[in-house]
Structure 1
Amino acid sequence: MSSRSDLVLVTGATGKQGGVTARRLLAVGRPVRVLVRDPESTAAQELAAAGAEVAVGDFDSPETVAAALSGVGAAFLVPPATFGPNGWDTDLEVERGVRFIEAARAAGVEFIVFTTVASLTQDGKWGAQGKRRVEEALRNSGLHWTILRPARFMENYFMQGHPVDGINDGVQKHLFPTDRPVQSIAIEDIAVFAQLAFDDPARFHGQILELAGDALTMPEAAAAISAATGHEIRYVEATEAEADAMGPEVGAAWRLSRQGEGWHADIPALREIHPGLRTFDAWLAESGAARLKSLLDWRAVVRR
């Protein structure tokens, strides 16, 4: 496939996946334009300082998206979250994603990497249904594309104030049973797979990659964090009632995980593509443990 431009537009650039992907592409010398709503935000300013071109726009303002796509050869698509007081607005999510794909095609963009979420069921039908509809639109768009479906982020352990995930008072609570390995992925590795796809779109066109770098039981992960940080962490399963109280999708995930369902990334095959794919221990050693220790130390001081 010929390339009209090396310039990559990264959406969601002030968020987790978009931010690391933009920085990864800049680090390997790829020109990057980032789509942001607030160019004065710290994240946007940091990306600009790293060499990114900043385009101000919003998925709900089609003219700004069209302007951001002008002259772009490829795009990293992360539709903004549409979760509100009444839950997920799936129709709005689909509208935003499809509209972006149509604008990209009109602008002459050749290749899109779309990051979605992995499915808990083997048939791939359970998960964020809005994202699956956007995937379908991308597959039928006539563009070249790669779809990344990451499992649970290792960085979710940094979350604070949530009923599940994160670590609160030495407890890590989640939906999953204690005896089942749970796949996870370091966000930095999502960026690596995106970069590899942008570097060789002919190779990765038409591929749907479920992404994970490790699979530990939740107590095993808690033990690894304890050893790496010096803080004793224990894992607690959320009850079915607690899961249902968080919403129907959360309750469904609780039940599916106890029916033997889980994420299905082929980790050895992924490591053939990306030999540096991080295990949970490698992620802890590289950066996770230091950040977790800082958070846990701070909380210990606050509790005194």
Structure 2
Amino acid sequence: MTARDDLILVTGATGKQGGATVRRLLEVGRRVRVLVRDPESAAAQELAAAGAELAVGDFDDPGSLTDVLAGVGSAFLVPPAAYGPTGWDVELEVERGTRFIEAAQAAGVEFIVFTTVASLTDDGKWGAQGKRQVEAVLRESGLHWTILRPVRFFENYLIQNFPFDGIDNGVHRHLFPADQPIQAIAVDDVAVFAQLAFDDPARFHGQILELAGDARLMPEAAAVVGAAIGQPVRYEEAPESEAEALGPEVAAVWRLAREGQHWHADIPALREIHPGLRTLEAWLAETGAARLKSLLNG
């Protein structure tokens, strides 16, 4: 293995998926470079202390991407999305993803793991359009690639000061119907699948993996969380009006769920690839319950 082959660039490293992927790769002894805009930020300094090499760059600055990708053999791609009061800026999201892929080609990168979002039957009706277009650019690029499509994260229970997800006064509110199983996954398991792909790109090239680790009714999941933290938690469905207030894509998710459209990861098949794939109980026992207790009782 050459020095280039061994060096992995991780984008989105100060976010959930990117950060988890950096930690996982460093744990298994891989060389990691991370794309950051502010190397002095607390998050960037924490990554550097863990052993990652910091590289300053920006998806909106093509010249900086050239420098960041120099000597890189593989990359973990999480292009920053743009979301505002009018919904997703699909054009900007596609520009950023395409710009990175083109820069990777020019730099001689051979393999990209691109993490997007789990699919529904009617992807065009909600916020997946930009990601699907970037997926198409990657598939047609001539590079080797793996696409990861994770569902909702267990870590979303930790969200605070947002209309949905998180726990507020013993209530977990969300868009999803109470009577239908909803898939979820631990962020650290997304990182494991990324690491497995980087370890064996020949095996994972050309694969699109819909990722989930568990599927529960939302009231059942709330009860499991409550038992783990020692506080009652109940589930509450948000009305369509609240979904509409957050934009057309959010409202589309609310309606699609009630039309029977769901994420469709094959969890048993994924567990064959990654036997340690976490259930909700496993995530809570490992880190989730302690983190929730700290947030709720702090």
The TM-score with structure 1 as length reference comes to: 0.95
Q: What do residues 123-160 of structure 1 show as CA deviations (whole Å, max 9, x unaligned)?
A: 65554100000000000000000000000011001111
**Aligned residue number for residue 98 of structure 1:** 98
Distance in 1, matches of 2:191 and 2:24, equals 6
Distance in 1, matches of 2:205 and 2:166, equals 35
Distance in 2, matches of 1:31 and 1:294, equals 33
**Aligned residue number for residue 62 of structure 1:** 62
The 8 Å contact of residues 85 and 247 in structure 2, kept in 1 or not, is answered as: no
Residue 2 of structure 1, CA deviation: 9.2
**Aligned residue number for residue 269 of structure 1:** 269
Distance in 2, matches of 1:139 and 1:62, equals 21
Q: Does 1:75 align with 2:69?
A: no
Distance in 2, matches of 1:81 and 1:255, equals 23
**Residues 148-163 of structure 1 aligned to structure 2 (within 5 Å):** 148-163=148-163
**Aligned residue number for residue 193 of structure 1:** 193
245-254 or 138-147, which deviates more: 245-254
Query: Per the alignment, do residues 126 and 193 of structure 1 end up closer, same or farther by CA in structure 2, a change over 3 Å counting?
Result: farther
The 8 Å contact of residues 11 and 79 in structure 2, kept in 1 or not, is answered as: yes
Residue 86 of structure 1, CA deviation: 3.1
**Aligned residue number for residue 218 of structure 1:** 218
Q: What do residues 230-267 of structure 1 show as CA deviations (whole Å, max 9, x unaligned)?
A: 11111000111111121111111111111111100000
**Letter of the aligned partner of 1:267 in structure 2?**
I
**Residues 133-148 of structure 1 aligned to structure 2 (within 5 Å):** 133-148=133-148
Q: What do residues 96-134 of structure 1 show as CA deviations (whole Å, max 9, x unaligned)?
A: 00010000000000000000000232x655541000000
Residue 87 of structure 1, CA deviation: 2.4
**Aligned residue number for residue 178 of structure 1:** 178
**Letter of the aligned partner of 2:63 in structure 1?**
E
**Aligned residue number for residue 240 of structure 2:** 240
**Letter of the aligned partner of 2:177 in structure 1?**
P
**Aligned residue number for residue 294 of structure 1:** 294
Query: Which SS does the other structure have where 2:6 is aligned?
Result: coil
**Aligned residue number for residue 33 of structure 2:** 33
The 8 Å contact of residues 10 and 75 in structure 1, kept in 2 or not, is answered as: yes
**Letter of the aligned partner of 1:275 in structure 2?**
P
Query: Per the alignment, do residues 65 and 190 of structure 1 end up closer, same or farther by CA in structure 2, a change over 3 Å counting?
Result: same
Distance in 2, matches of 1:249 and 1:204, equals 31
**Aligned residue number for residue 108 of structure 1:** 108
**Aligned residue number for residue 43 of structure 2:** 43
Residue 3 of structure 1, CA deviation: 8.8
Residue 85 of structure 1, CA deviation: 3.6
Q: What do residues 167-213 of structure 1 show as CA deviations (whole Å, max 9, x unaligned)?
A: 11111110111110100010000000000000000000000000000
Q: Is there any run of 5+ residues in structure 1 with no aligned partner, and where?
A: 299-304
Query: Which SS does the other structure have where 1:5 is aligned?
Result: helix
Aligned length: 297
Q: What do residues 52-111 of structure 1 show as CA deviations (whole Å, max 9, x unaligned)?
A: 110011101111111000000000000012113432111000000001000000000000
**Aligned residue number for residue 209 of structure 1:** 209
**Letter of the aligned partner of 2:209 in structure 1?**
L
147-156 or 249-258, which deviates more: 249-258
Query: Per the alignment, do residues 49 and 3 of structure 1 end up closer, same or farther by CA in structure 2, a change over 3 Å counting?
Result: closer
Query: Which SS does the other structure have where 2:270 is aligned?
Result: helix
The 8 Å contact of residues 171 and 236 in structure 2, kept in 1 or not, is answered as: yes
The 8 Å contact of residues 87 and 249 in structure 2, kept in 1 or not, is answered as: no
Distance in 1, matches of 2:3 and 2:76, equals 16
Q: Is there any run of 5+ residues in structure 2 with no aligned partner, and where?
A: none
